[in-house]
Amino acid sequence: MLSRLRRWLGPPRRFRLTREGKWFIGATLVLGFAAVNGGINLLFLIFGMLLCLLLANGVLSEASLRHLVVTRRLPGSIHAGAPFLVGIAVRNAKKRIPTFSLEVEDMVAEKPVDRRCFYLKVPAGREQETAYRRTLPRRGIHRLSGLRLSTRFPFGLLRRSMDMDVPAELLVYPALVPVSDALLSSGLAELNERHSTTRTRRGEFESLREFRPGDDPRDIHWRTSARRGQHFVRQFEGNTGRVVVVTLDDAQPKEPSQGGNPAEPFEAAVSLAASAALVLLRQGYQVGLATSHAFVAPGAGNIQATHILRSLALAEMRPAADAGMANLVFPAALRGVAILRVLQGSQAPRLETSRAAGKPS
């Protein structure tokens, strides 16, 4: 019996009087004092009616909050500084009683965020979904502790709320900055020119893959292309002309920038690395990522973009002795591929291109 009562009462409720509720209770107390002091039956009747309104407000608000199933729906990708939508779906599991005037807030460290979702009415047995807009200023992992459900139904005299333990983690990718396609193309043109004529004529046959912009039409495998309805090209061992590894300088500067946050140059370099990698992927390159403590093998497509953005979202500055370009995790098997270096700068990060020397990992 006790456990059943505990389940009926949980989770614990919170009560907060509204401004109208404070005036209402004040007037009720004054009227009750006048009824007792004067012994007037009409005042006793009005006083009893006011108490019944308070009791009805508590019962109806409790019924409105019970048997609700709330689900948080997060977006697939979130970038720092860019607004995104968080969906909140509420399903009313009650059989007959609808829910009115419901507010749902996300909780961060037991405190509600500055945005909320409002539901005027959720009919019994139905589900409704809405979303709120939010912007996170920094990359990395952001944790949501739970959800707070509250209502002022029916008379707005008090705000009844309850907290639901629904934790979640948001992985925020680096902010994206403009990257000139001409800047990347000019920096990599000289490196790719050496392999543009021979990159598909060296080595033994390895596999077939889908045609990408920049591939030599002479490498199209027409029989497979006709059978599958799209162009496929032959790929040979040693085909490195369209492979680029973006390297990030994650060494902590020996001399911090004057009058600013020492982490700002590194964050700018991370944003530039993420933006350059996405531009190269859209141009058809196979793109990898190398830092002093992590390596993402070159690849193409949306899945590769997710791997690179996830690694950059968790990147951290390292001591100069353990980080820097000299300590990059770079397998020797990628000797000769194009390298796009993202270097930190006091004013703005900069890009450099070179060819890998095949430093072992």
At 257, is the pLDDT very low, low, confident or very high (cuts 50, 70, 90)?
low
Q: How many angstroms separate the CA atoms of 291 and 282, rounded?
A: 22
**pLDDT at position 25:** 92
Q: pLDDT tens-digit profile of 36-67? A: 888 888 999 999 999 999 999 888 988 889 89
Q: pLDDT tens-digit profile of 193-243? A: 544 443 444 445 667 877 766 566 777 888 888 888 888 887 665 444 578
Residue 12 pLDDT > 80, yes or no?
no
Q: For residues 296 and 312, is the Cβ–Cβ distance under 8 A?
A: no
Residue 211: exposed, middle, or buried by beta-carbon count in 10 A (0-12, 13-18, 19+)? middle
**pLDDT at position 196:** 46
Within-domain flag for 38: yes
Within-domain flag for 351: yes
Among 20-34, 100-114, 171-185, name the one with the lowest average pLDDT: 171-185
Say yes or no: 100 and 30 in one domain: yes
CATH of residue 165: 2.60.40.10
Residue 143 pLDDT > 60, yes or no?
yes
Domain housing 312: 181-195+240-355
Within-domain flag for 222: no
Within-domain flag for 301: yes
Among 3-12, 75-84, 123-132, 314-323, name the one with the lowest average pLDDT: 3-12
Within-domain flag for 110: yes
Say yes or no: 189 and 167 in one domain: no
Say yes or no: 122 and 189 in one domain: no
Domains identified in the chain, total number: 2
Say yes or no: 35 and 90 in one domain: yes
Say yes or no: 16 and 138 in one domain: yes
The better pLDDT of the pair 104, 222 is held by 104
